[in-house]
Amino acid sequence: MTAASDDAVVVAARAGDETAFAALVDRYGHELRVHCYRMLGSFEESEDLVQETFLRAWKGLPAFEGRASVRAWLYRIATNACLDALAGSTGRSGSTGRSGSAGRGGSARRVLPDQLGPPWTGGAVPTVPDDVAWLQPFPDRLWEPVAPRDDQPDARAVARETIELAFLAAIQHLPPRQRAALILRDVVGWPARQVADLLDGTVASVNSAVQRARTTLKEHLPARRLDWAATPTDEERTVLRRYMAAVEAADLDAVADLLAEDVRTTMPPYPWWLAGRDSVMAALAASWNPELPGYVGRFRMLPTRANGRPAVASYVRRGADPLFHAFAIGVVRIEAGRIAELTAFHDADLFDAFELPPSLPPSLPPSLPPADR
Tens of pLDDT, residue by residue over 188-220, are 889 999 999 999 999 999 999 999 999 998 898
The CATH number that domain 3-224 falls under is 1.10.1740.10
Tens of pLDDT, residue by residue over 324-348, are 999 999 999 999 999 999 999 999 9
Give the per-residue pLDDT at 247: 97
* Least confidently predicted of 10-14, 41-45, 261-265, 308-312: 10-14
Q: Summarize the confidence of residues 353-372 as an average pLDDT.
A: 77
Tens of pLDDT, residue by residue over 146-195, are 444 444 433 343 444 688 898 999 999 999 999 999 999 988 889 999 99
Give the per-residue pLDDT at 249: 95
130 pLDDT more than 60:
yes
Give the per-residue pLDDT at 3: 59
Could you give the C-alpha distances from 137 to 10, 242, 258, 312, 317, in angstroms and in order? 33, 23, 23, 12, 23
Nearest to 80 by CA among 36, 37, 48: 36
Q: Count the Cβ atoms, other than its own, within 10 Å of residue 319.
A: 7
**Which is higher by pLDDT, 157 or 370?**
370
CA torsion sign, 160 to 162 to 166 to 167? positive
Tens of pLDDT, residue by residue over 43-97, are 999 999 999 999 999 888 888 877 788 889 999 999 999 999 998 864 433 332 3
Nearest to 6 by CA among 29, 30, 23: 23
Q: Per CATH, is 229-360 categorized as 3.10.450.50?
A: yes
Give the per-residue pLDDT at 92: 35
Pair 162, 221: CB distance under 8 Å: no
Give the per-residue pLDDT at 33: 93
Give the per-residue pLDDT at 123: 78
Give the per-residue pLDDT at 148: 44
| Exposure letters 223-234 (e unless 16+ CB within 10 A, then b) | eeeeebeeeeee
Query: d(Cα 7, Cα 23) in Å, to the nearest integer?
Result: 12
Query: Average model confidence (pLDDT) for the chain?
Result: 84
Q: Where are the domains of the chain?
A: 3-224, 229-360
* Full-model pTM: 0.85
3-class secondary structure for 284-326?
HHHHCCCCCCCCCCEEEEEEEEECCEEEEEEEEECCCCCCEEE
Q: Which element (helix H / strand E) includes 330?
A: strand 324-335
Tens of pLDDT, residue by residue over 87-127, are 886 443 333 233 333 333 445 689 999 988 899 988 777 78
Nearest to 345 by CA among 61, 12, 113: 113
